[in-house]
Structure 1
Amino acid sequence: MSPDSHATGSVVPEPSFNVIMVGSLTMPGGLRFERHSHPVHQLNWATDGVITVTATGGTWVLPSARALWIPADVEHSTAAIGPAVMRSVYFPPRSCPVDWAEPTVIAVGPLLGELIDHLSRDDLAPDARARAEAVVFDLLEPVSVTTVQLPTPADQRARAVADALRANPADDRDLASWGRVTGASERTLARLFVAGTGMTFGHWRAQNRMCAALPLLAEGTAVGTVARKVGYGTASAFVAAFRRAFGVSPGSYFARPR
């Protein structure tokens, strides 16, 4: 069964089933499923590669060590940063002991990964499936991960700055310099960023750099290289900024649980 209604020939499970169902999809880099929802709970996990999920105003970058629990009927979009294999695990709400109302990041260790693979089999006896499912629920362990929120300003002048920085997060021009490019004053641009995103320009730029850094880190790019690519002069400055944003070091963020 394919994991998403936007994939050709796929099937989205209806709430009538009573067991955990597992779908798998090989995704080329750049493939994106636009906003949609399911009538069942879903766990999105990349067994290989990195996926992103956007829901409820936040974006999660998910290497194989992390999966995202998406409650039933919550709209979300999913994308592959590079080539990826995505496993979607579906849980019928009426028989599911988990009742998280918001998207929740789950740590995926080797045992949980093996159990998901086990439950993808079509030949499991009902009692064997029931035992495996019970263990899966025991292993759904939330981890504290800060989401990256990066709204786009509505005003076209501020939006032009945001688009340029998304394309090149290492660009370190200040608002006065951007003002000369867009025809707006420094003060006007500062006001437009706060009004359009809820963030100061400096905060938005820092968030943008983290958005650009996460996929690179997930692909195994060296921290020093990532730092330069997203606009930090040294690896230590980048690591400090990463800790401010996420509360942990890049290595801890992507470490696979034992």
Structure 2
Amino acid sequence: MSLNGHVVPEPSFNVIMVGSLDMPGGLRFERHTHPVHQLNWATDGVITVTADSGTWVLPSTRALWIPAEVEHSTAAIGPAVMRSVYFPLADCPIDWSEPTVIAVSPLLGQLIDHLSRDGLPADARARAEAVVFDLLEPVSVTTLELPTPADARARAVTDALRADPADDRDLASWGRFAGAGERTLARLFVGETGMTFGHWRAQNRMCAALPLLAEGMAVGTVARRVGYGTASAFVAAFRRAFGVSPGNYFSAR
């Protein structure tokens, strides 16, 4: 079967299968499931994966294990190349029941590339697959959620901030922009996104920062682009959001 042109294997295959897809920025696969386990990885760029248990923002050094039949959606923040690695259910040594973040080391990435080759001999494939399973080590990361409010006034604010995350207008100014009182707008954010306006804006800035960092942009430049006066203020906010510094987040270890 296929999903928007993306081939999804049927549950009868018995080897690890690898698919690759170029994703323009903004492309999104709506909620769906796979009959097999999947490792979702962007070799270039940054993708997000959303399931009932959270949203994960994944640079090339992170991948997400998605168990079979777990409903999820996938989107590209900017241009990205997505590698989907599919694992047969039979004899799979991984038994994680929830989506799990994996650190993608250079060796794991090379093995996935190796398994994508056509005509790989069965014995060579079996050895490579065994090492892949050895390298699937979970890492602890914070999920990042950015819900969109249903109310048109609050949504006008979130749309403007997505377009320009550095816009530092306060809630009263945004209320005048959207045609709602400051208190009304504050209630709408909490009621429709589950977070305060300040929290939503901080999350939005982190979502905007990740693809820039993934491109190798300097931290100080990223800080200014997304609304922080100094690199140190941005790094502190990044640590609050993800529990690690930007450098450690993009490390393969």
Same fold (TM over 0.5): yes
What are the Cα deviations for residues 72-94 of structure 1, in whole angstroms up to 9, with x where unaligned? 12222323344433221101123
Equivalence for 1:241: 237
Q: Is the 8 A contact 1:32 1:79 kept in 2?
A: yes
Q: Is the 8 A contact 1:50 1:219 kept in 2?
A: no
1:187 equivalent in alignment to 2:175: no
1:252 equivalent in alignment to 2:252: no
Closer/same/farther in 2, CA of residues 102 and 169 from structure 1, 3 Å limit: same
Deviates more, 1:225-234 or 1:24-33: 24-33
1: CA distance, partners of 2:16 / 2:53 = 28
Closer/same/farther in 2, CA of residues 18 and 103 from structure 1, 3 Å limit: same
Equivalence for 1:178: 174
What are the Cα deviations for residues 46-104 of structure 1, in whole angstroms up to 9, with x where unaligned? 22333332333633232221111111122223233444332211011232111112221
Q: Is the 8 A contact 1:209 1:230 kept in 2?
A: yes
1:42 equivalent in alignment to 2:38: yes
1:162 equivalent in alignment to 2:119: no
Deviates more, 1:115-124 or 1:55-64: 55-64
1:78-93 residue pairs with structure 2 within 5 A? 78-93=74-89
1:207-246 residue pairs with structure 2 within 5 A? 207-246=203-242
Equivalence for 1:62: 58
Equivalence for 1:5: 2
Normalising to structure 1: TM-score of the pair? 0.90
1: CA distance, partners of 2:12 / 2:23 = 28
1:198 equivalent in alignment to 2:194: yes
CA positional deviation for 1:162: 1.5
CA positional deviation for 1:114: 1.7
Query: 1:19 is matched with which residue: 15, 19, 24?
Result: 15
**Code of the aligned partner of 1:25:** L
2: CA distance, partners of 1:150 / 1:84 = 20
2: CA distance, partners of 1:31 / 1:203 = 26
2: CA distance, partners of 1:217 / 1:194 = 29
Gapped regions of structure 2 (runs ≥ 5): none
Deviates more, 1:216-225 or 1:57-66: 57-66
Runs of 4+ in 1 over 4 A off after TM superposition: none
2: CA distance, partners of 1:7 / 1:179 = 39
Q: Number of paired residues?
A: 253
Closer/same/farther in 2, CA of residues 108 and 240 from structure 1, 3 Å limit: same
2: CA distance, partners of 1:31 / 1:165 = 20
Closer/same/farther in 2, CA of residues 101 and 216 from structure 1, 3 Å limit: same
**Code of the aligned partner of 2:134:** D
What are the Cα deviations for residues 135-162 of structure 1, in whole angstroms up to 9, with x where unaligned? 1111001111112101112222222111
CA positional deviation for 1:7: 4.2
Secondary structure of the residue aligned to 1:93 is coil
Equivalence for 2:146: 150
